[in-house]
Amino acid sequence: MSALDRPLDVVGLGEAMVLLQAPSFEDAATASVHVAGAELNLLAAVARLGLRAGLCSRVGNDPFGRRVLTAARTLGVDTSLVSTAPEPTGVFFKELGADGARRVHYYRSGSAASRMSAVDAGRALAARPRLAVVSGLTAALGPGPRSAVQHLALGADVVALDPNLRPHLPPVDDLLLTLLPQVTYLLLGLDEAGPLFGTTEPAQVFRRARSAGVREVALKAGADGCYHADDGPAGFAHLPSAATTVADPVGAGDAFAGGYLAARLVGAGPRGAAWLGSRLAAAVVATPGDTEGLPSAAEAAALLAAALSR
Ligand SMILES: O=C(O)C(=O)C[C@H](O)[C@H](O)CO
């Protein structure tokens, strides 16, 4: 069954890669193998909450591409909008030093996903999802992905943007600023607010994003929790983090975004959506890996129901 005969709630455009992880590749004899990608992580959270989520991407005709497809399907993410291309699947390496520092080495330049174009965005739009997710990370992969992000953001009725700025990739702030009037939900990290809005002061971030045309903002502040839209005089409110154990912070922002968007799609308000996002982020950081800590489908359904009453 394709996404066209089974309408998707959420489509995310992005690159999913094979990840090799070890303490240090200078002397590691073994490494653990995972599949990672910010948009896939977000979609996995949406799927776990019972909504239909699809990845729009390209992978190579190689074992890495097949592994990405299998991992996405195992996470409940539809792959009918992922095409197989002649270029290789992107891979990356993560060193988790004993000092807690994480070093990331990408081998994604020239990858299948870096050749995405407006054609891929066209396929995503033809699937008529209720919500399209774009990210600065995808736009930073090259000129084709940049135009795919632009095309999808301009063509979709409801758009979520997660800037996902990555210091190792070229800057994309200019494009993201031009897209803000199309953005329904902006889910950004406090560390991304500086480059985009010239401030990390939450009141200013909300004010500047709204005056740039964004309809709704959620500001992720890591261990300090998040800020969500609110009807009160300030126009926003703070929600403390729900995390009690932090084994691996990677993937927290994606889980938050997936939970937030799924909750909004089923009718929760911004407060309930932020609460659900925080609960999923807390679950993900308690377990090593980007998505391994997501709650079970039954737990996720109970959390989604609880978000509706907040
Ligand atoms: O950094 C990237 O390109 C990734 O998408 C890898 C990770 O899965 C991602 O950073 C988690 O948000």
Here the ipTM equals 0.94
Q: Report the candidate in 12, 7, 4 with the shortest Cα–Cα distance to residue 52.
A: 7
Is the model's pLDDT at 147 over the cut of 50? Answer: yes
What CATH code is assigned to 10-15+37-88+110-308? 3.40.1190.20
Domain ranges of the chain: 10-15+37-88+110-308
State if residue 38 touches ligand 1 by the CB under 6 angstroms criterion: yes
Catalytic residue among 78, 120, 248, 254: 254
Average pLDDT for the chain: 95
Confirm whether 254 is a catalytic residue: yes
Q: Report the candidate in 91, 144, 90 with the shortest Cα–Cα distance to residue 112.
A: 90
Q: How confident is the model at residue 3 (pLDDT cuts 50, 70, 90)?
A: very low
What is the rounded CA–CA span in Å between residue 304 and residue 256?
Answer: 13
Cα of 310 from ligand 1 centre, angstroms? 30
Which range has the worst mean pLDDT, 33-42, 198-207, 270-279, 287-296?
A: 287-296
Residue in 92, 109, 169, 284 to alter for ligand 1 test, most ligand atoms within 8 A of Cβ: 92
State if residue 111 touches ligand 1 by the CB under 6 angstroms criterion: no
What is the rounded CA–CA span in Å between residue 65 and residue 52?
Answer: 22
Residue of minimum CA distance from atom 5 in ligand 1:
37
Residues 6 or more apart in contact with residue 296 via CB below 8 angstroms: none
